Amino acid sequence: MKAKGPFVVAIDQGTTSSRAMIFDAQGGVVSSAQREFEQIFPRSGWVEHRPRDILTSVQVTLTEAMHKAGIEASAVAGIGITNQRETTVVWDRASGEPVYNALVWQSRHSAELCEAMRSEAVDALVRERTGLLLDAYFSATKLKWLFEHVEGVRERAQRGELLFGTIDSWLVWNLTGGRTHVTDVTNASRTLLYDIHRQGWDEDLLALFGVPASMLPQVRGCSEIYGRIEPKYFFGRDVPICGIAGDQQAALFGQACFEPGMAKNTYGTGCFMLMNTGAKAVPSRHGLLTTLAWKLGDEVEYALEGSIFVAGSVVQWLRDGLRLLDRAEQSQASAESVDSTEDVYLVPAFAGLGAPYWRSDVRGAIFGLSRGTSREHLVRAALESMAYQTRDVLAAMEADADIALKELRADGGAIGNDFLAQFQSDMLGVPLLRPRITETTALGAAYLAGLAVGVWDSREQIARLWQQDRRFDPAMEASRRERLYRGWQAAVQATMGFPAS
Ligand SMILES: Nc1ncnc2c1ncn2[C@@H]1O[C@H](COP(=O)(O)OP(=O)(O)O)[C@@H](O)[C@H]1O
Ligand SMILES: O=P(O)(O)OC[C@H](O)CO
């Protein structure tokens, strides 16, 4: 007999792959399926996705995960969606056809346009209303690029023929058969068009970027029924879609960081540290972002975020670019085979530096090379760079929020690396906790969906489901830690000074 459930499905639409996961009511993984899709690099620094590829990868993984689980569709209580954030899609309201590829969050399409728009008044307006910065990372700059570079898009948008959405909106629109144009507050808070204090699209910002209000989705909470999936996509059942959050906020939720001061760091392609600041939107004076953590019922909570653009991808570069490794996992043994980097530092500013520096013009550098520098030293320096960047962000966070972090919950593919986890704990001087389920992004989306349809009743119940895999306690002497960190800071300063202008 097939298991009765209830089960919850999470769709985790990430930058390089889509994943569908099925969870039971204890928060345990029943099955999962994953598909990569094509990354399109039309020019140096530009990254695009085909919106239809994304949709297909989601539909295929949904079906595969259900087959693997061997459960009835009727046992699924709800579907949650979590997504790569900021990535921008524009499509025709009538035909559903995208007008162009999706412009991906990392892409620098709109970098020049941002420089041309920059002024003290614009910077202040953006920061005050959105908690963000004027940077090509965010959606409104990508929309403006589409208006300026793709023929007819501005005019069609002005005539009300086009819709805009981040990937969550694009998926919900399609999975509900073109009936529902919504997003949630967390995704809205990454567009540069949303007032995070007043909770609404902001007319001044719409005017600044030339965006007609008619193309915007309705903004909703993170845990409610938005619509029902078309039965043809889900074994004949119109299951509710009832959870939406951007992937980093979903991970914060999946890590059960529900109290102000609790923080998580996700070590994937990039690294995103978010600290819950509760009902208070804490403005950053140290290069972080203020963002919405979630909205449950009428309650809104905020987070401080440090966005690091290159983390796990530095290991991919060692593997595919320098061919120093066959597999990412080998980096652990390689780093552990030497006692230190012998003062080699690698600053992986491949696409500039994100938080807290925001320097899109700088590029990566390696310092301290000697005749004795080996492959192992470089691998270790690459892993250490993730930990140093995280310390930069944490220092900014503690200064902004005026608190000292007690522990850091960590997740994402790269934190399976024990060397990195230990070095990170050493470098921060706080315990690092690794949960049993490191797919916390999908788990968070499942929790949000399950809360909306009664699979779980409360956040307290969810917090009790969090389980530790391993705890890493700081073991490095403070004097060594500070000496190493000073070396990193010098390396970053030197990187930012090159080439001399
Ligand atoms: N054992 C490991 N040590 C170091 N880095 C790793 C390890 N395993 C995976 N990675 C890195 O982590 C990233 C994959 O993590 P994942 O959470 O799947 O990323 P994303 O969701 O951003 O695609 C890759 O960049 C990979 O190089
Ligand atoms: O797809 P990921 O996990 O690399 O996350 C991307 C972030 O949401 C970008 O802001």
pLDDT in tens, 99-119: 999 999 988 899 999 999 999
Q: How many CB atoms lie within 10 A of CB 121?
A: 8
Residue 290's alpha-carbon distances to 197, 364, 441, in angstroms, are 11, 27, 20
Ligand 2 atom nearest the C-alpha of 248 is 8
Which residue, by CA, sits nearest to atom 7 of ligand 1?
414
Residue 433 lies in a domain: no
**pLDDT in the model for residue 296:** 97
**pLDDT in the model for residue 213:** 97
DSSP SS3 for 270: coil
**pLDDT in the model for residue 328:** 94
Please give the structure tokens belonging to residue 228: 């029902």
**pLDDT in the model for residue 1:** 60
Both ends of the chain: CA-CA distance in Å?
71
Please give the Cα distance from 320 to 322 (Å, whole number).
6
Residue 73 lies in a domain: yes
Residue 239 lies in a domain: yes
Beta-bridge partner residues of 8 = 23, 78
Written as one letter, the residue type at 126 is: V
Check: CB of residue 435 under 8 Å from CB of residue 409. Answer: yes
Ligand 2 centroid – CA 84 distance (Å): 4
Ligand lying nearest the CA atom of residue 420:
1
Please give the Cα distance from 62 to 228 (Å, whole number).
15
**pLDDT in the model for residue 501:** 60
- For the chain, the C-alpha Rg in angstroms (whole number) is 22
Check: CB of residue 51 under 8 Å from CB of residue 98. Answer: yes
Host H or E run for residue 244? strand 240-246
Written as one letter, the residue type at 239 is: V
**130-160 tens-digit pLDDT:** 999 999 999 999 999 999 999 999 999 999 9
Residue 164's alpha-carbon distances to 16, 142, 247, 254, 487, in angstroms, are 22, 11, 19, 28, 45
Check: CB of residue 366 under 8 Å from CB of residue 382. Answer: no
Please give the Cα distance from 186 to 194 (Å, whole number).
10
Residue 216 lies in a domain: yes
Residue 253 lies in a domain: no
* Binding-site residue set for ADP: 15, 19, 269, 312, 413, 417
**pLDDT in the model for residue 351:** 79
Ligand 1 atom nearest the C-alpha of 411 is 17
Q: What is the DSSP string of 19-67?
A: EEEEE-TTS-EEEEEEEE---B-SSTT--EE-HHHHHHHHHHHHHHHHH
Look at the alpha carbons of 248, 249, 254, 257 in this order and tell me if their dihedral is positive or negative: positive
**pLDDT in the model for residue 88:** 98
**pLDDT in the model for residue 258:** 96
Residue 16 lies in a domain: yes
Which residue, by CA, sits nearest to atom 5 of ligand 2?
84
Q: Rounded to a whole number, what is the largest CA-CA distance in the chain? A: 71
How many alpha carbons lie under 13 Å from residue 74 in its C-beta half-sphere? 2
DSSP SS3 for 427: helix
Q: How many CB atoms lie within 10 A of CB 406?
A: 10
* Binding-site residue set for glycerol: 85-86, 137, 247-248
**pLDDT in the model for residue 277:** 94
**454-479 tens-digit pLDDT:** 999 999 999 999 999 999 999 999 99
Residue 2 lies in a domain: no
Burial class (CB within 10 angstroms; exposed 0-12, middle 13-18, buried 19+) of 458: exposed
Tally of domains within the chain:
1
**What ipTM was predicted for this assembly?**
0.97
Best mutation site among 49, 267, 437 for ligand 1, i.e. most ligand atoms within 8 A of its Cβ?
Answer: 267
Its domain, for residue 88, covers 7-246
pTM of the model: 0.94
For residue 236, what is the domain's CATH number? 3.30.420.40
DSSP SS3 for 361: coil
Please give the Cα distance from 369 to 373 (Å, whole number).
6
Please give the structure tokens belonging to residue 303: 């987070």
Beta pairing, strands 345-347 & 365-367: antiparallel
Ligand 2 centroid – CA 268 distance (Å): 8
The tens place of each residue's pLDDT in the chain, 501 residues long, gives 667 779 999 999 999 899 999 999 999 999 999 999 998 989 877 899 999 999 999 999 999 999 999 999 999 999 999 999 999 999 999 999 999 999 999 888 999 999 999 999 999 999 999 999 999 999 999 999 999 999 999 999 999 999 999 999 999 999 999 989 999 999 999 999 999 999 999 999 999 999 999 999 999 999 999 999 999 999 999 999 999 999 999 999 999 999 999 999 999 989 999 999 999 999 999 999 999 999 999 999 999 999 999 999 899 999 998 999 999 999 999 999 999 999 999 999 987 889 999 988 888 999 999 999 999 999 999 999 999 999 999 999 998 888 889 999 999 989 999 999 999 999 999 999 999 988 999 999 999 999 999 999 999 999 999 999 999 999 999 999 999 999 999 999 999 998 766
Residue 477 lies in a domain: no
Q: How many CB atoms lie within 10 A of CB 75?
A: 17
**pLDDT in the model for residue 84:** 96
